[in-house]
Structure 1
Amino acid sequence: MAARAGSVARPLYRPMRARNPAESRGQTQLELLFDLAFSAASGFAAVRLAHMLGTGAVGTAVLGFAMVFFAIWWAWLNFAWFCSAYDTDDGLTWMVTTLLILGAATLAAGVPGAVAERDFAVITVGYAVMRLPLAAQWVRAAVGDPARRATCLRFALGMVVLQLAWFGRLALPERWMLAAFLVLALCEVAVPPWARRHGSLPTNPGHLAGRYGRFTLTVAAQVIVATVHALRLGLESPGNGPLLVVAVTTATAAVALLWLYHAVPHATVAASGGARIWEYGHYLLVGAMGAVGGAARLLAESTAAPGTQRWAALPLAVAVAVVLLSLWLFGVLPGQDRPGLAHPTCAVLVVLSALLIPSALWTAGVVVLLLLATAAVEGLGSRDDEPT
């Protein structure tokens, strides 16, 4: 059957070629679907974070969330690098990306056991399903791009060797698991600079900025999920006024944080000498954004229970403060002569409000007012320059 008028045939296979780094382009539908899959995984982590914080196991909750989100973020980042440098949009790429999405789903299914019980078996399998097919794509890139063959093969080799090490970690005694995680995580971060010693990748800063912006947006959507959760709890309880306040404040906080995020010229930062700090700094920023969703859920559930917990808004305040400090760091990276202090000032005031104000609801309200004031000071004058 003939192709429809205006459609473009997508072959099952075509040779992989490096992109032109100066090429300006938006996101493909496949990349957007990939981002949504990883957002779902981060959402599971945020829900589990809220549950663990509610039980009082703060240290276990934060550590487990940080470990799980590293796997999510690192797998996503490596895919973003690859798509910015190479993309054939052929059938084989679609099939490989489907495997990556299934890996993200498997990782998400293993989040509860990983966060609560330190059972990383399922999450390690999911990580492997995400990483090994991408290693195969790097081999394809090595075949199609002789000039960067050594770089591509080093990326592939690093992924395969470290994935074997992650499986080996499962056999270690419990007391060694955390130390092994830290060592392997550092090794993961060391692979890209080791691979790039033989040549840089032809990535486009504007494309990477767009990818980061959309991933941040999808993770921030977990705050809106928490808002819906607060509204649902409010409909089920007789005195729903406080839960309505929670819904309004958390939704407003998400919008204000996104406004401040897009006030940073991300494409400019991505093309500057601080590009690596900007990229890796998104682990803190996006992770904290996901934690805002979990903290908002905790605040809603604490408000719905008799006797609102005194410190129920503290996790929300800390997560918001980390987002603000990360954004301030990104604003400093391009080298402005006088970077503003509104972000760190707001971060300090947000945490102080949670410590000093006796009511969790009042604290949430003050946090939102501080965010809106910061947005008015820092965000009205500029918008980011990422492509749409």
Structure 2
Amino acid sequence: MSHEPSPHLPHHRAILMRGRDPHEAHRVATPLELLFDLTFVIAFSAAASPFAHLMAEGHFAVGLGSFAFAMFAICLAWINFSWFASAFDTDDWIYRVTTMIQMIGVLILAVGLPRMFTSLDHGGYIDNAVMVMGYVIMRVAMIFQWLRAARQYPGGRAACLFYAGWIFTAQIGWTILIFVDLPLLPTAACILALGIFELAGPIVAERLGNGTPWHAHHIAERYGLLAIIALGEGVIGTVASISAIVESQGWSMDTVLMCVAGTGLTFGMWWLYFMLPSAKVLHIRRDRAFVWGYGHMLIFAAIAATGAGLHVAAYYIEHEAHIGAVATLLTVALPVGLYILTIFALHTYLLGERDRFHVWLLAGTALFIVLPVVCAGFGVSMTVCLTLLMLAPAVAVIGYEVVGHRHGDEAFERMLSGMRAGGNEPSH
């Protein structure tokens, strides 16, 4: 059967925000969502660059604390928008303009990140006014979106109103932080409390009424796209390291090794991520969305930190780092280890059972995380150590492609059988 093209040109008049069909076929990310994600390229870079500098200076506690705060703000802002868009994207002019305002908020947040890092490093206080202002701009725009959905989507009115009220309450707290000058520890405590408050909102809201009609395959694709954007930091870090080698040594075998190591590590992390059975499981087990969704904060942070670690390696090669070879390698190895561990943890959580084969894969992965660090301690060149580290995700990838995928299929079938036995026939 031939399909005639629509005779109408696209237009974006205001329409009712009725909620999308969670079983809609061929639901994919929209051009507007891709444009929105471009602002997070800037945000990830704004967090990774000062983090790499602090690591290279040996200011580990300040660097880790600042980076954790920055990544939490970035990820939380993205997460709430993306789940809303999965449920209520109308793509009319109102929705588009509101999304543009949110993009402005992301950019302001990114502009404020270096000031926050610098304030913690030099003054022992948190200069978070600009980044919090950007975050609040984003969240106020989200309040408008939720109120619009509450008015026009009766089936989700309770959940939408709760989201709007919860976000509004949180923004009062964040705004107070801009104007109240508190010492470091009380400020950090307030940030932690507000962060937990923000995270709890969706858990409560989605249990009210019918929740929101988010689309499992769409949201899984959205998370995958942001993971790819975060992996861009690995590419940038690789280029920085290659440039450092060329500047100090010219073109050499180290240049080739660094290119292979950085690209191979980024590629292996990408391959490993898309072994998660996210869309398949979330489509039939929507109750597993919260742990999966929030667990990705660790994944995104670990990816960005790996890229920052490759920047630190560039500083080390240029003799601009104030830390040794082992510490430098750890700035890459530790986030890679956290990333792989989180991927395995989410895989286990999604399928609802442990796989003994994963223990062997994790053991092999650990070997290629520890071995490069030991080699760095014995004076092996940084490029060789990074090349060895590149094999850490490769172990898991090869294990999955050879054996693990069959285990995953069997676990998924057992999940389906258990649901049928319990009278919960999965929808298609």
- TM class, shorter-length: over 0.9
Give the deviation of 1:207 after TM superposition: 0.8
Taking structure 1 as reference, are residues 279 and 36 closer, same or farther at Cα in structure 2, changes over 3 Å only? same
Give the deviation of 1:268 after TM superposition: 2.4
Q: 1:75, 1:127 within 8 Å by CA — same for their partners in 2?
A: yes
Superposition map of 1:187-206 within 5 A: 187-199=197-209, 200-206=211-217
Q: Distance in 2 between matches of 1:368 and 1:82?
A: 37
Tell me if 1:226 matches 2:248: no
Deviations 1:78-121 (A, max 9, x none): 01110111011101111111111111111111111112313101
Superposition map of 1:331-370 within 5 A: 331-333=347-349, 334-336=351-353, 338=355, 340-357=358-375, 358=377, 359=380, 360-370=382-392
SS in 2 for 1:274: helix
Quick one: which of 320, 329, 337 aligns to 2:336?
A: 320
Q: Distance in 2 between matches of 1:152 and 1:306?
A: 51
Q: Distance in 2 between matches of 1:122 and 1:266?
A: 35
Tell me if 1:156 matches 2:145: no
Tell me if 1:109 matches 2:111: yes
Equivalent residue for 1:256?
Answer: 268
Superposition map of 1:160-171 within 5 A: 160-170=168-178, 171=180
Q: 1:342, 1:377 within 8 Å by CA — same for their partners in 2?
A: no
Q: 1:84, 1:204 within 8 Å by CA — same for their partners in 2?
A: yes
Taking structure 1 as reference, are residues 342 and 240 closer, same or farther at Cα in structure 2, changes over 3 Å only? farther
Q: Distance in 2 between matches of 1:167 and 1:233?
A: 42
Q: 2:149, 2:157 within 8 Å by CA — same for their partners in 1?
A: yes
Q: Distance in 1 between matches of 2:131 and 2:354?
A: 44
Coordinate RMSD, CA, aligned:
2.2
Taking structure 1 as reference, are residues 195 and 337 closer, same or farther at Cα in structure 2, changes over 3 Å only? closer
Q: Distance in 2 between matches of 1:286 and 1:342?
A: 25
Q: 1:288, 1:320 within 8 Å by CA — same for their partners in 2?
A: yes
Equivalent residue for 1:376?
Answer: 398
Q: Distance in 2 between matches of 1:173 and 1:105?
A: 26
Q: 1:321, 1:350 within 8 Å by CA — same for their partners in 2?
A: no
Superposition map of 1:39-50 within 5 A: 39-50=41-52
Q: One-letter code of the match for 1:314?
A: L
SS in 1 for 2:207: helix
Superposition map of 1:1-388 within 5 A: 7-11=9-13, 13-24=14-25, 25-117=27-119, 118-170=126-178, 171-174=180-183, 175-199=185-209, 200-241=211-252, 242-271=254-283, 272=285, 273-305=287-319, 309-311=324-326, 312-333=328-349, 334-336=351-353, 338=355, 340-357=358-375, 358=377, 359=380, 360-379=382-401, 382=405
Taking structure 1 as reference, are residues 63 and 284 closer, same or farther at Cα in structure 2, changes over 3 Å only? same
Q: Distance in 2 between matches of 1:6 and 1:226?
A: 46
Q: Distance in 2 between matches of 1:361 and 1:20?
A: 50
Could you tell me the TM-score, scaled by structure 1's length? 0.92
Equivalent residue for 2:420?
Answer: none
Give the deviation of 1:248 after TM superposition: 2.2
Q: 1:34, 1:101 within 8 Å by CA — same for their partners in 2?
A: yes
Give the deviation of 1:243 after TM superposition: 4.4
User: Bigger CA drift: 373-382 or 144-153?
Assistant: 373-382
User: Bigger CA drift: 60-69 or 356-365?
Assistant: 356-365
- Could you list the runs of 5+ residues in structure 1 that have no partner in the other structure? none
Q: 1:16, 1:88 within 8 Å by CA — same for their partners in 2?
A: yes
- The count of corresponding residues between Structure 1 and Structure 2 is 381
Taking structure 1 as reference, are residues 342 and 282 closer, same or farther at Cα in structure 2, changes over 3 Å only? farther
Q: 1:52, 1:116 within 8 Å by CA — same for their partners in 2?
A: no
Give the deviation of 1:230 after TM superposition: 2.1
Give the deviation of 1:39 after TM superposition: 2.5
Could you tell me the TM-score, scaled by structure 2's length? 0.84
Identity in percent: 29
Taking structure 1 as reference, are residues 317 and 331 closer, same or farther at Cα in structure 2, changes over 3 Å only? same
Q: Distance in 2 between matches of 1:344 and 1:169?
A: 42
Q: Please tell me whether Structure 1 or Structure 2 has the larger radius of gyration of its CA atoms.
A: 2
